[in-house]
Amino acid sequence: MHLHILGICGTFMGSLAVLAKSLGHQVTGSDANVYPPMSVQLEEQGIALCRGYSEKHLIPHPDLIIVGNALSRGNEAVEYVLDKGIPYVSGPQWLAEHVLKDRWVLGVAGTHGKTTTSSMLAWILEYAGLKPGYLIGGVPKNFEVSARLGDTPFFVIEADEYDSAFFDKRSKFIHYKPRTAILNNLEFDHADIFDDISDIQKQFHQLVRTIPQLGLVILPKGDAYLEEVIDTGCWTPCEYLGSTVEGEDENSDITWSTRIISEDASEFEVFCKGASQGVVRWSQCGAHNLNNGLAAIAAARHVGVTAPIAIEALSQFEGVARRMENLGRVDGVTIYDDFAHHPTAIETTLEGLRAKVGDERIIAVIEPRSNTMKSGIHKNKLAAAAGTADEVIWFQPEDLAWTLNSLDKESPQSASSQKVLVYSSVKEIVARIVETAKEGDHVLVMSNGGFGGLHAELLARLKKRV
């Protein structure tokens, strides 16, 4: 069957394309924005990509169109599909019907950490010999691709709360029906489709309602929004995650907890009901990654992987592309790429890097690219979120609904040493860094898009300084 995917370079749709090709389908796709790492992965898989959404890409007609949630009415390809009566379906529905049916689904949901936690969980199962299938909205470095069918009933999926398609406004994860569910955290996001936090909670509660009573829900203790979701009604056992073991005993409602050994959380001890399970020593850093790892350990135990084996696996976890990925050190300057696009993600990522590098200078370069960031919903939180950096460079895109120029006045360090700059072009940002960055500096670039090729341009210009 010939499947054509509209929006194929999105992290979810690109991964779905890999699975469809593994099932023996002819797969092609269209997208307006084609950039690595997904474009590279698709090309390596032999999947033909078309730039833009011309109706010409759909001639002759494919057997089925899989429509990404980035497309809406008025799009040339969408209108052609509807006019010509070509069969179409959303990505989550196709996945549920053709891949997830009759599988033991382990779903990872939450506002932050879905990609990283899914990658950790898939790797733990792989390390334990379970050969899981998985679909992850990024490229885990322990695997060659972001999705595969697997050889056992177990399937790990990044369970996104974003809507399924223009014709199906339910969250993607409603289709997945997990048996094991991680609810990492919950904050307001996706302001383009949700009015407020209660809107998102309704979708999370619908997810919880689909988990069988023989399943498991894993969530952090003390996340008020998630606990409200559970209090609305839950028919599945819950295991709670905590950050310390102080005062824990066998009657505690916290099942899993940790003790940080190194300041940057690159070494921490894991406890189950107060009993030590071992120590994780890994290349990751930051309390947010510690929490992700703990959730993955708990989920893996639900399918039979003991905590000590999971701990061994995490010690060999290599990370995920674009999650504080070290792109290289050039002329003494280290460049990182990160996907952070929400104040909390910006804050925790910077805190993790600060714990890792100590007093060395951090330059944060941030593109407010997500729909929520563009709307200005979180604008009052951004200055504080970037407070850990010594210098913050904000990119002001043309389609931003508000101005970033006020952030320098709101900076928590504005009265001391932090420098806040706003530029409207990538060239200006690169020029600034090349001119001022010195040996020992760390440049953390944060965007959920390609950022106009800034990463490659910056590395190339720094090399010319040598």
- Here the CATH number for the domain that contains residue 41 is 3.40.50.720
In terms of C-beta distances under 8 Å and separation of at least 24 residues, what long-range contacts does 426-432 make, across chains too?
426/395, 426/451, 426/452, 426/453, 426/454, 426/457, 427/457, 429/365, 429/393, 429/395, 429/454, 430/454, 430/457, 430/458, 430/461, 432/393
What's the whole-number mean pLDDT along residues 286-300? 95
Kindly tell me if the per-residue pLDDT of 35 is higher than 70.
no
Does residue 96 sit within a domain?
A: no
Residue with the bigger pLDDT between 408 and 233: it is: 233
- Lowest average pLDDT, out of 63-72, 207-216, 227-236, 399-408, goes to 399-408
Kindly tell me if the per-residue pLDDT of 53 is higher than 90.
yes
Same domain, 160 and 119: yes
Same domain, 292 and 239: yes
User: What are the counts of helices (DSSP H) followed by strands (DSSP E) for the chain?
Assistant: 15, 23
Question: What is the CATH classification number for the domain harbouring 370?
Answer: 3.90.190.20
DSSP states of 308-363: HHHHHHHTT---BTTSSEEEEEETTEEEEEE---SHHHHHHHHHHHHHHHTTS-EE
**Please, what is the average pLDDT of the chain?**
91
What's the whole-number mean pLDDT along residues 25-32? 95
Does residue 97 sit within a domain?
A: no
What's the whole-number mean pLDDT along residues 319-344? 88
Q: Which residue, of 30, 57, 91, is where some domain finishes? A: 91
Same domain, 357 and 279: no
pLDDT tens, residue by residue, 237-252: 999 999 765 445 555 7
- Cβ-count burial 273-290 (b if 16+ within 10 Å, e if not): beeebbebebebbbbbbb
Same domain, 334 and 277: no
Same domain, 68 and 125: no
**C-alpha closest to that of 320 among 454, 143, 126, 128:** 143
Q: Which residue, of 48, 69, 91, is where some domain finishes? A: 91
DSSP 283: S
| Structural domain range at position 230 | 102-314
Does residue 319 sit within a domain?
A: no
Same domain, 65 and 121: no
Same domain, 152 and 129: yes
Same domain, 124 and 42: no
Same domain, 333 and 245: no
Same domain, 308 and 365: no
Same domain, 424 and 354: yes
Does residue 172 sit within a domain?
A: yes
Q: Which residue, of 22, 56, 91, is where some domain finishes? A: 91
Kindly tell me if the per-residue pLDDT of 377 is higher than 90.
no
Same domain, 174 and 233: yes
Query: CB-based burial of residue 439 (10 Å sphere; 0-12 exposed, 13-18 middle, 19+ buried)?
Result: exposed
Does residue 73 sit within a domain?
A: yes
pLDDT tens, residue by residue, 99-139: 999 999 999 999 999 999 999 999 999 999 999 999 998 88
Does residue 198 sit within a domain?
A: yes
Question: What is the number of structural domains in the chain?
Answer: 3
pLDDT band at 417 (very low <50, low <70, confident <90, very high): low
